[in-house]
Structure 1
Amino acid sequence: MLWPLLLASCSAPGQTVSSQSTPRHQQLQAVKTWGIQLTGYGNTRLEAVAASKFDLVVVDPTDDNAVLWTTAEVARAARGTSGQGKLLIAYLSMGAAESYRPYWKPGWRVGNPAWLLAEDPDWPGNYDVAYWNTDWQRIALAQLDRAIDAGFHGTYMDLIDAYQRNPERPSARADMVTWVCRIAAHARARDPEFLIIPQNAADLLTDPRYAACVDATGQEETFVYATDQPTEPERERTQLADYQLWKKAGKPVLTLDYANNPALVTQVYQKARQAGLVPYVTKVGLDTLPAPR
């Protein structure tokens, strides 16, 4: 789970994916730098995103006041202030509900509606959901539609690993695969090039259905736990082994680690790139967008 919210040729780091006329999947393959900002937009709105030199940026589909970005703002951020162009991807939590979202209704509580499960004790306002429930899926797909309408190039989907929280449900893993593929089919019926990028749950790629539905993955805390705590060698080895499946399938792996220590930040970028990954190291708040490196 993410931490905040209380020319299409291979380019070197610092260069950007260029022409938006290039097929989007081809642009995705060319991504060498990426970033994510989910809050802290303030009065400057998406200007920092527009000015950034990243190949791909993930942003929340709403501003700090939960108001949807306009199509003009999304287009400007994707085009860039210098016309450099980038893939602009909408963050959506598809495996959990959030009480600060526009869809949330007064009076909702655990068990009402039926798909609303336990509140996450570590993240007040975030709730597990029965993601296989059609009523929840209708709400989530409406969020997706708004992102498509706004002009986003794809979605970065959080809580896809929610199936791990349902050990009492034998079909939980298969249900998540079915749900992700329904999201992909829904989006591509409207925009055939729409990119589907789930976060975490790297092992789902072993399911052929899932592999056919997703385009890349985002992975948290491969090298560093939040914040400045190196992960265990065994975790790193296991994660990197899982990522090889994605690389062999031709699907980029975007890593997200949280560190402030300059030496550690440099080390993470080096290790990730040596493994053929696309790294981003930032502060846990995800409320700024530092320059690519």
Structure 2
Amino acid sequence: MKRKSLVSIIIIAFIITSCSLTFQNEWETPFKNWLYQLQNADPFEIASSGFELAVIDYSRDGNEEGEYSPEEIKIMLDAGVTPVAYLNIGQAEDYRFYWKNNWYENPPEWLGEEDPMWEGNYFVKYWDPEWKKIIFSYIDRILSQGFKGVYLDRIDSFEYWSSKGQIPRREAAICMIDFIENIAEYIRKENPDILIIPQNGENILEFDDGRLLSVVSGWSVENLFYFKTNPLPDNETENRIRYLDTLRWHGKFILSVDYVDDGSDSLENLERILDYYKKCQEKGYIPYAARSDLLLDEINVIEGIQPVK
């Protein structure tokens, strides 16, 4: 059998299975699909992409000069796309509008070390009033642009400060829960339907007294089943799923992004993408198969698979 024919058969089989799984879980998820692009997102391309939820940066290049206009956000809204803005609340980024150049030599008290994994990103004492003030000013920009939600990254930074001995783990977690609750209250005073979607750090739910579950709309997780193109150990995945199950039981949707697509048309790549999709759909999660280069600089359309129709 020719390889192209085999690929077509595999995709058809996936679509049939996908329809069945989607039907079973459809009542629980407000979106059939989602897109995650943090660099050079084009509102016109997103509007015609077929994705229903788009998580993008508030700016084309992350800088103040690249901020999207309300008119550009409206292009997506008019096409039926729900635009959600990425917002790092656990780290300061040195290319953002709020960054001061003298912080490199004379940092404020709340600014911590640079993240060795992400150049230009610095851990922050997120419970500090000055940092909260910065984030609220950031949110003001996002809301004025017309975004319909915020995607809160580095929730897991509560682990960093406790590992440094700066603050007990429980206290660090509760401070982060307080912060997310503060953000929800700030945003929803005039925008009660705004989506609030944390990313990763789902183990913070160990310390939640119900406040966090009451304010989040859903949750997003990276690298749940795969790390790039490598399958993760089942026990590691299952340990995370138990927290996601708690969210699902409380009616929250789950977004998943695994960086499984190496960009090739190989059968191995296709089978990996389909396996990732199958695992997500069996749990009722909304999957996005991103490119394995981790850049998130394009709309990753995979013919016959992504976006799910």
Specify the TM-score bucket, using the shorter chain as the normaliser: 0.7 to 0.9
Matches within 5 A, 1:82-101: 85-101=80-96
Question: SS of 1:160's equivalent?
Answer: coil
User: In the alignment, is the contact (CA less than 8 A) between 2:289 and 2:300 conserved in 1?
Assistant: no
1:79 and 1:173 map into 2 onto residues whose CA distance is 39
Which of 129, 132, 146 is residue 127 of structure 2 equivalent to? 132
| CA deviation vs aligned residue, 1:152-206 (integer Å, no higher than 9, x gap) | 0000110011101111212101000000000010000131111110001223335
2:204 and 2:116 map into 1 onto residues whose CA distance is 26
Deviation at 1:137, TM superposition (A): 0.7
1:164 and 1:141 map into 2 onto residues whose CA distance is 23
Distance 1:56 1:281, change over 3 A: same
| CA deviation vs aligned residue, 1:203-253 (integer Å, no higher than 9, x gap) | 33351111111110000100111x201111111111222211011000001
Q: Tell whether 2:136 aligns with 1:141.
A: yes
Deviation at 1:65, TM superposition (A): 6.1
Structure 2: tracts of 5 or more residues without a match? 1-17, 263-268, 302-306
Structure with bigger helix share is 2
| CA deviation vs aligned residue, 1:14-55 (integer Å, no higher than 9, x gap) | x9xxxxxxxxxxx994212111110033xxx32221111112
Which of 132, 156, 159 is residue 161 of structure 1 equivalent to? 156
State the match for 2:10 in structure 1: none
Distance 1:160 1:111, change over 3 A: farther
1:222 and 1:244 map into 2 onto residues whose CA distance is 13
- Work out which of the two has the higher radius of gyration on C-alpha atoms and give 1 or 2: 2
Question: SS of 2:103's equivalent?
Answer: coil
1:262 and 1:40 map into 2 onto residues whose CA distance is 26
**Aligned residue pair count:** 264
User: In the alignment, is the contact (CA less than 8 A) between 1:109 and 1:116 conserved in 2?
Assistant: no
Q: Tell whether 2:265 aligns with 1:262.
A: no
1:289 and 1:202 map into 2 onto residues whose CA distance is 26
Structure 2 residue identity aligned to 1:174: I
State the match for 1:245 in structure 2: 246
State the match for 1:290 in structure 2: 300
User: In the alignment, is the contact (CA less than 8 A) between 1:111 and 1:117 conserved in 2?
Assistant: no
Q: Tell whether 2:277 aligns with 1:280.
A: no
1:58 and 1:64 map into 2 onto residues whose CA distance is 14
Deviation at 1:145, TM superposition (A): 1.1
Structure 2 residue identity aligned to 1:278: I
State the match for 1:74 in structure 2: 73
Deviation at 1:12, TM superposition (A): 6.2
Deviation at 1:262, TM superposition (A): 2.0
Structure 2 residue identity aligned to 1:172: A
1:65 and 1:57 map into 2 onto residues whose CA distance is 16
1:38 and 1:51 map into 2 onto residues whose CA distance is 18
1:111 and 1:243 map into 2 onto residues whose CA distance is 40
State the match for 1:18 in structure 2: none
Question: SS of 2:73's equivalent?
Answer: helix
User: In the alignment, is the contact (CA less than 8 A) between 1:110 and 1:117 conserved in 2?
Assistant: no
Structure 1: tracts of 5 or more residues without a match? 1-10, 16-26
User: TM-score with structure 1 length normalisation?
Assistant: 0.85
2:250 and 2:196 map into 1 onto residues whose CA distance is 15
